[in-house]
Amino acid sequence: MKPVVEIFDMTTEELIKTVEVPIAYMDRLATLMDWKEPEDFCFVYDLLPEQIKTIEEWTHTTIHGDNRIIQIVCLE
């Protein structure tokens, strides 16, 4: 399972960018997202500003920005 942040343009809903969260952060990601059950990893979630900031630190990538929809999903 590979956690990926997907960044979409809010107006066009086009995918702008994807950022993979390193698998080494999976336990911390589960805590950050409050995922407790295995099925919690299967859904798409909108990210809150605090979550975005933490994931930016982990990935050394700027994710936030104006006019963006920022979500996380775990791909197989």
Where residue 43 sits, what CATH number does that domain have? 3.10.50.20
Residue 1 predicted with pLDDT over 90? no
Number of domains in the chain: 1
Percent of the chain with pLDDT over 90: 86
Strand locations in the chain (E): 2-9, 15-20, 45-46, 68-75
State the pLDDT at residue 76: 78
Domain that holds residue 21: 2-75
More confident residue, 50 or 75: 50
